[in-house]
Chain A
Amino acid sequence: MDRKEWPLWEVFIRSRNGLDHKHCGSVHAADPSMALKNARDVFTRRMEGVSVWVVRADDIVASDPDAKPEMFDPAEDKIYRHPTFYTLPDEVGHM
């Protein structure tokens, strides 16, 4: 029998209000509403989240793992891009 797999969806969960959605895994589902329910059932069983995003895995544009050097190396020696050269007044505390 021809058993076609449902498409893959990547799941992102926000654990608390104010925090970012974090990637936490993937589910198979036939359409968006099923994907959302499946994500809820598979990934929020222990109160892990207050909000769930699902995205078709096909729709994610990812960097090419083989193109690592040209994508990421040029930034390596440009430490001045980090905001570490400022003296902060004490009152600011930890940033």
Chain B
Amino acid sequence: MPEQAIKNKTAIAGIGWTAFSKASGTTVANLAAEASLNAIHDAGLTPRDIDGIVTYYYGTDSFDVRELAPILGIDRCNFDLFCGLGGGWACGAVAAAAMAVFAGVCRNVLVYRAMNGRSERRPRNPDAHAARGVKQWTIPSGVNHAADVFGVPVVAHMARYGTTTVDFAHLAVMQRRHAGLNKKAMMRAPITVEEHQASPWITYPFRLLDCCLQTDGAAAIVVTSAERARDLRHKPVYISSVMGGSVAGEHPWEVNAHKAAAPLYAGAGITPGDVDLAELYDPFTGMCLLHMEGFGLAPRGEVGAWVRAGGNALDGETPVNTHGGLLSEGYIQGLNHVVEAVQQLRPGGVLDDFCEGAHDYDRAHCRQVKDPHVALVCGECGDTSLILTSD
């Protein structure tokens, strides 16, 4: 498989976020604007430098992408995209922005994800008439929740390979430990394997501590050309390979990640062994395990043991979800994973751990990974994914 023509031709030049909370007390539009302005200013740009806008949503949890330009005073837009594929598309949004820049359609593309995901939760009773189309096959049997869908490949993996809920517990505990080193994380108090195992079932195979948070907040990034990025405020984080589509897994215990991994790595001219850290979509612990395995961080079928041995720790073989992820940092549907990867790859490293001064890698206060240059990021099921790199 060939390297992608887009390899290292575009870069993430700015990142921004809002506070992550249970009740923002403001509108989704204001959250989007705040994170976007933070990202634009972080890049050393102004809103009028932006000429493309991309976002994604699920159901009715966002506002139309075209509402943001007038709020920010953006007076021309060459490309916009409002994709309804939800968390699967977290990296697709970045890929679309990169392609618009690479094609010369746009100079600087803003990507944001904003929601009042906790305070404006949708009513729990689904529309009685919703059992049409593909949902006529699921809703009549009581499939109403993401766990009812994403638990399925996980239970198949448990049966195929002997993965257990104790493996899930080790993942949850590790990500909480990472979140404890992250000032913006919603959940920082340590948890134990025993507490995980004692937490109530939500949908088997997932207990309460297997499930991601619900969050009010926003994250944003600015994508520009590699050439322009080199003249901006921060050293560029290059977009080295992108994948942005999805098909079903080959086996019931596999997801799109298992198919996307090879072309993603080939696109950047690397192998899984080159990955220094990974920020992988983690709506439920078990899904994150499938992503780790699908992208080759752990041997096929051995991801449970890999996590129990701490392969995903900040000083492990490949640190995963160094910010705490959707499980413990917040549910910004995966764009917070992109932000974390960029922070980790910048020369100065993460800004919002508890280090005072330079990073010293003391895990009592420092969450910076040691000298990373290659990051893997993926959305739900590995439907979309990125390789990001720094010099």
- The answer to whether A and B assemble together is no
Residues of B at under 8 Å CB distance from A?
Answer: none
